[in-house]
Chain A
Amino acid sequence: SQQGEEDPQALSIQEGENATMNCSYKTSINNLQWYRQNSGRGLVHLILIRSNEREKHSGRLRVTLDTSKKSSSLLITASRAADTASYFCAVPNSGNTPLVFGKGTRLSVIA
């Protein structure tokens, strides 16, 4: 069955550095989504990339998708302490069923 898996599980960087997290999945997809979750809060949608797109930007976020490797990466440039959160990728499952979420990458940005 479909599964999204983020790597690394946890990442700690200094403010101003770039943060890169990756997502791998098992079966073919038509889109991949990234969400952010602040501690103790709900998830917030960040970006959706379709299978015919290789790269997409939104502000300081850059997402890439390599369907041949079944993987995606999320890059946050010039990170800020406020970027500290968990980041989840979500991929479609088979049939008309909801997204499948990974376990997330916990990002800590140290001021």
Chain B
Amino acid sequence: DGGITQSPKYLFRKEGQNVTLSCEQNLNHDAMYWYRQDPGQGLRLIYYSQIVNDFQKGDIAEGYSVSREKKESFPLTVTSAQKNPTAFYLCASSYLAGGGLGTDTQYFGPGTRLTVL
């Protein structure tokens, strides 16, 4: 089965803790993305990566960090610096068709719901 997986599905964090959300894809996609979604809201871009060992900040990168050591994996760490981390986090990937990131179809994982206790 080809696809994109996220784990865990639900995550609870105490204030002051760092937590890492996993995102793995076996679609052989070059680009990967992390989004945050708050209730009733759209998607806001946190980080994205077009190639291994390289990534760029999105619109709301503060308080988050990522790594891209393997093509298949793009984990997101929510640090204690993120003051309001409770949200639904979505990971996506896309094949770089050559027309730019804005023309590529994105494939999404099932999401991780993070709650701060």
Contact = CB atoms under 8 A, between A and B. Distances in A.
29 contacts: A30-B102, A31-B102, A33-B105, A41-B110, A41-B111, A42-B90, A43-B43, A43-B90, A43-B92, A43-B106, A45-B105, A45-B107, A48-B105, A88-B42, A90-B106, A91-B102, A92-B100, A92-B102, A96-B100, A96-B101, A96-B102, A97-B102, A98-B31, A98-B48, A98-B102, A99-B102, A101-B35, A101-B42, A103-B40
B106 A102 contact: no
Interface string A71-93: 00000000000000000101111
Contacts of A101: 35, 42-43
Interface of B: 4, 31, 33, 35, 40-43, 45, 48, 58, 88, 90, 92, 99-111, 113
Given A40-B111, A41-B111, A43-B90, A31 B43 contact: no
Interface centre among B42, B48, B106 (most CB of A within 10 A): B42
A93 B43 CA distance: 14
A60 B42 CA distance: 24
Contact of A42 (B101, B104, B110): B110
Nearest to B99: A30
